Amino acid sequence: MSAPALAPGPAATPRATVGFEALMERVREIAGQCDRCGSCLPVCPLFAKTGRETATARGKVSLIRGLLEGGVTPTRDLFARLDFCLQCRACTNACPSKVRTGELVSLTKGYLAPATGRPGLSRAIDGFLAQPGLVRLAGPLVRSYARSAIRPVIEKSVLKPLLPSVARMEGLLPGRRPARSDGANHRGGGAGGPSDGGRPPKRGRLKYFAGCMVRLTYPEVMKATIKTLRDAGYEVTVVDESCCGLPHWSHGDLDRARKMAAANLDRLAGPEIVVTDCASCGSALVDYREWLAGDPEHEAAAKELAGRVKDVSVVLAALEPSPQADAQQTNAAQAAPDHPVKVTYHDPCHLCRGQGVRAEPRQVLRDAGYDFIEMKGADICCGGSGTFSVEHYADSMAVLEEKTKNILATGADAVVTSCPSCLMQLEHGLKRYGGDRKVRVIHLTEAVHEARRAGARPAGAGTGVAKPAQ
Amino acid sequence: MLPNELRSQIIAVVGPERSLDSDNDRFTYSYDGSFVPLVPAHLPDLTVFPLNVDEVAKVVRLCNEHGVPLVPRGAGSGRTGGSIPVKGGVVLSLERMNRILEIDRKNMMALVEPGVRTIDLCKAVEAVGLFYPPDPSSWTVSTMGGNIAENAGGARAVKYGVTKDYVMGLEVVLADGTVITTGGKAVKNVTGYDLTHLFVGSEGTLGVVTKILVRLISKPEAKKTLLLMFATVDDASECVSDMLSSGIVPASAEIMDKTSIQAVARFRKVDIPAEAEAALLIDIDGPQKLLDDQAVAVAETGRRHHAVQIREAGTAAEADELWVLRRTMGPAVAAIAKNKIGEDISVPRAALPEMIRRLGEIGKKHGLTIAVFGHAGDGNLHPSILTDLSRPGARERVDEAVAEVFRAALDVGGTLSGEHGIGITKKPFIEEALGKGGVEALRAVKRALDPKGILNPGKIFE
């Protein structure tokens, strides 16, 4: 049709939330948009498992509206109800008016926290993640602990009696994963060469934002991401000294989240595309424009950054596919007998709904020569959602069990995803519900890197022509 | 307030894990999809989730013995306050009785529990080549039990009728806990009063429906979707009227004015010509070989009524996209104003253009924006008054306008509610619609079936 589209309404523009009055105004505004039609009910993974209205967006929005109008009291229980959320955004996606329940809930938690307090675990984790030095120190400890022989000892003797929830979280930490990436040095700039053979074309500079969880628990993913991008011809600068602030924002620690966001704006300033391999970090960086709306000092920079953030799959998908993908797949299968030929893909919530990225990861997997099989409900949350899986273990497992069944039903050798939180959760799911089936859980960049190694071809080296920027 | 002993007895029936009575839980079962304010909240004392008819009967019997209000509830997506526990008591949520018990292909019927979502039944029967036509816009959420309680309609009503036209029989728990079965699979059935249809549309005031038998029809072979744009709302409504009287029977014929389309366009891309003030969304279905001729006839009628643009969906995906536009319209319209007072008038279809003109006049007179969309083909409109009720004088103006809308609908031979029911929001107007004698007849039925008045009290009439 030829006529111009109607102008998008106010919902598209971030609104100020800095300062108490602005926050309350925004809370009122979002809450007032809900019509209580219930479109969010059938898509809520937690409603499907618990059948409780408070789990749904309609329930939460109504509670918040009740709070504003004096029908609901600001209690610890209210905070807990609002906290019982996977932040998967399926509700907003299904909502006819796209009511931003996630933002509304975070803001309301920020309002409630001084009066009701926040759960101890959230507080502890937020405090830890806000200290880059501490995180850096802890990295090797967490990693070696997760994979070491001391683990069962610590588990039995220290953690379990100490704090049941931490003990459960401990159960979620990944075990020993087969190391597959070759050791790219992730420090320092400069273009790295392709892993084997061929000269990559020059493609310009990227900033890679390496989030806490990738650094702490999946350094091999970090290496694979860097290697894959360098193989494709990019000059990669690693920004790895800070947390994106999403845990703090989600837990209602708004001030700290904003401070971290502001600091990251400085770190990420410049003309370069900012690449992430963590769906949650990526969506947080994009959402800074909302976190910092109304902050005259940072507003503009946050808006500008949102336009520069790209998930690694989007960058890789823009490269020309190898014309010999089929041959490469055969090569891959021959070169490494345990190489996952059949793969399926799990959409991280913060990528598919948070950033609207759905097609690219699938395309990247196909282009890399994998036999791609779509799973049922690929974009339904895995139930991980940061500390949720620890604080609400049983509910998290109920959601995960279904996800695992859908993965197994594809018959895939590996499930690929693009978020460390999902990686951890899916690994746990396959361990717990996978039976004898050996299904690997790998990050998209690991999958690409493995295919390149097996096929002995650098990414995008087929034609050396990048697709037009998106 | 629920006496403690009774509370424990009810909780013992369903088990504590299927009972909710904390403050925040109670608050979230105090509303539905209507514009009834959330505060002051109409809190239930207890919400329970039975799994079978025995549990339902036991809970109902206990409430009846103690004279405690009991409000059956589905997804809480009703638009008139039908499932709001205005007198407290027990909310009986039927959401977890959600099994499709049988799809009988030989007799072309389906037996379902009340918590089955409408769309799930539609999909399940379409998978075996059958068709359940009632399709309320809320069908992704609404339950079959709720559809029975409100006699839900939908866009396909113009050709296929509404829920009552498909209900063959029910299992109902009466107010004293007696379980009865009405109707059955026999197509012809005049064994006593038609109790089945007494319960359809009774808004949970006469009994609790625990099983539903519906008839199905063959799935139409093919479908086409057309979007027609007009420079005036009048042209659009005259076009529908003309279409129907010239023998074209669309599967759906939806009208929407510019305000309504713009509301949806805030959240999804909608291309409309600058001069368009109204649109018609037309579905035609039937044997493939007849569809092309029908599409031509629809387009010709459109052109006779000065359509500024006629577009046919090229693919099923494109048709779906057009339908999402219409189905999300109600909530999207609500989001553009502080308050939306959405109505559900239904008029004889020949009176549709007249009714729409009158809505325009009422809006103008009171200085109110009234968005109009609805099922033009069957004369069922959802005029939505958009306002900010916190402004001084707004409430009075809206009340006057609403009263005038209802009066206009009655005046042209129509009624208050096409498919949303009366609930509490339309209660003040029911006597005007049915007359004193009519309302007294409703009361007599209510007294006969629920002498203690425990079932969904305070609804439909005082």
In chain A, what are the domain boundaries? Answer: 15-117, 320-455
Q: Beta strand B307-312 with B222-230: parallel, antiparallel or unpaired?
A: antiparallel
How far apart are the CA of B77 and the nearest CA of chain A, in angstroms? 5
Adjacent-strand bridge partners of B384: B342, B371
**B143 is a domain residue:** yes
> Do B319 and B428 sit in the same domain of this protein?
no
Interatomic CA distance for residues A325 and A464, integer angstroms: 15
- pLDDT tops 70 at residue A460: no
Q: What is the domain range of residue B439?
A: 337-450
**B46 is a domain residue:** yes
Token look-up 């027990």 returns B90
Is B390 within 8 Å of chain A by CB?
no
Per-residue pLDDT band at A2 (split at 50, 70, 90):
very low
**B456 is a domain residue:** no
Which residues of chain A have a CB within 8 Å of the CB of B274? 3-4
A28: nearest CA partner in chain B = B338
**B253 is a domain residue:** yes
Contact B22 A3 (CB under 8 A): no
Strand blocks (E) in B105-221: 109-112, 130-131, 167-173, 179-183, 208-215, 217-218
CATH code where residue B430 lies? 3.30.70.2740
**B365 is a domain residue:** yes
Distance, C-alpha A54 to centroid of its chain: 25
- pLDDT tops 70 at residue A186: no
Contact A81 B24 (CB under 8 A): yes
**B455 is a domain residue:** no
- pLDDT tops 60 at residue B460: yes
Per-residue pLDDT band at A322 (split at 50, 70, 90):
low
Interval B8-17: pLDDT, tens: 999 999 999 9
Contact B39 A62 (CB under 8 A): no
Least confident span in A16-20, A437-441, B94-98, B210-214: A16-20
**Domain final residue, candidates B288, B304, B330:** B330
Per-residue pLDDT band at A172 (split at 50, 70, 90):
low
pLDDT of residue A458: 42
Which residues of chain B have a CB within 8 Å of the CB of A37? 33, 77, 138, 141, 330-331
Share of chain B above pLDDT 90, in %: 91
What's the rounded mean pLDDT across residues B47-67? 98
Contact B330 A53 (CB under 8 A): no
Total number of domains in chain B:
4
pLDDT of residue B319: 93
- pLDDT tops 90 at residue B278: yes
How far apart are the CA of A97 and the nearest CA of chain B, in angstroms? 5
pLDDT of residue B267: 81
Q: What is the DSSP letter of B312?
A: E
What's the rounded mean pLDDT across residues A52-76? 96
How far apart are the CA of B267 and the nearest CA of chain A, in angstroms? 7
Interval B340-362: pLDDT, tens: 899 999 999 899 999 999 999 99
Which overall architecture, per CATH, does domain A320-455 show? 3-Layer(aba) Sandwich (3.40)
Nearest to B428 by CA among B404, B396, B462: B462
Per-residue pLDDT band at A174 (split at 50, 70, 90):
low
Contact A33 B335 (CB under 8 A): yes
Q: Among residues 47-76 of chain B, which lie with CB inside 8 Å of chain A?
A: 49, 75-76
Share of chain B above pLDDT 70, in %: 100
Nearest to A91 by CA among A46, A40, A50: A40
**B462 is a domain residue:** no
Per-residue pLDDT band at A445 (split at 50, 70, 90):
very high
Share of chain A above pLDDT 70, in %: 76
How far apart are the CA of B149 and the nearest CA of chain A, in angstroms? 17
Contact B76 A97 (CB under 8 A): no
What's the rounded mean pLDDT across residues B424-443? 96
> Do B18 and B74 sit in the same domain of this protein?
yes
**Domain final residue, candidates B303, B330, B357:** B330
Q: In this complex, which of B31, B272, B338 lies closest to A3 when CB atoms are compared?
A: B272
Contact A6 B265 (CB under 8 A): yes
Interatomic CA distance for residues A327 and A361, integer angstroms: 21
pLDDT of residue A338: 52
CATH code where residue B276 lies? 3.30.70.2190
Mean pLDDT of chain B: 95
Interval A100-122: pLDDT, tens: 999 999 999 999 998 888 777 77
**Domain final residue, candidates B296, B330, B364:** B330
Is B260 within 8 Å of chain A by CB?
no
Contact A69 B28 (CB under 8 A): no
Per-residue pLDDT band at A461 (split at 50, 70, 90):
very low
Interatomic CA distance for residues A285 and A267, integer angstroms: 12
Q: Which residues of A have a CB under 8 Å from any CB of B?
A: 1-6, 8-12, 32-33, 35-39, 41-42, 51-54, 59, 62-63, 65-66, 69-73, 75, 77-78, 81, 94-99
B276: nearest CA partner in chain A = A3
Interval B111-147: pLDDT, tens: 999 999 999 999 999 999 999 999 999 999 999 999 9
What's the rounded mean pLDDT across residues B439-461? 98
Per-residue pLDDT band at A333 (split at 50, 70, 90):
very low
The CATH code for residues A15-117 is 1.10.1060.10
Contact A39 B330 (CB under 8 A): no
DSSP secondary structure string, B38-78?
SSS----SEEE---SHHHHHHHHHHHHHHT--EEEESSS--
- pLDDT tops 90 at residue B274: no
What's the rounded mean pLDDT across residues A151-163? 44
- pLDDT tops 50 at residue A163: no
Distance, C-alpha B131 to centroid of its chain: 19
CB A413 within 8 A of CB A340: yes
A57: nearest CA partner in chain B = B28
Which residues of chain A have a CB within 8 Å of the CB of B29? 53
Cα→Cα distances A374→A68, A352, A434, B262, Å = 44, 15, 18, 36
pLDDT of residue B11: 98
Interatomic CA distance for residues B445 and B462, integer angstroms: 14
Which residues of chain B have a CB within 8 Å of the CB of A51? 49, 95-96
pLDDT of residue B121: 98
**Phi, psi (5° rounding) for residue A145?**
-65, -50
Interval A77-96: pLDDT, tens: 999 999 999 999 999 999 99
Least confident span in A198-202, B159-163, B271-275, B280-284: A198-202
Mean pLDDT of chain A: 82
Task: Report which of residues A147 and B380 the model is more confident about.
Answer: B380
DSSP secondary structure string, A123-170?
HHHHHHHT-HHHHHHHHHHHHHHHHSTHHHHHIIIIIHHH-HHHHHHH
Number of other CB atoms surrounding residue B128 within 10 Å: 11
Per-residue pLDDT band at A236 (split at 50, 70, 90):
very high
Q: Among residues 333-372 of chain B, which lie with CB inside 8 Å of chain A?
A: 334-336, 338, 340
Planar angle of CA A37, B47, B460, nearest 5 degrees: 60
Nearest to A114 by CA among A8, A315, A253, A12: A253
- pLDDT tops 80 at residue A200: no
pLDDT of residue A31: 93
pLDDT of residue A11: 40
DSSP secondary structure string, A351-404?
HHTTS---HHHHHHHHHTT-EE-PPTTTTS--S-TTTHHHHTHHHHHHHHHHHH
**B254 is a domain residue:** yes
CATH code where residue B194 lies? 3.30.465.10
CB B375 within 8 A of CB B155: yes
pLDDT of residue A467: 39
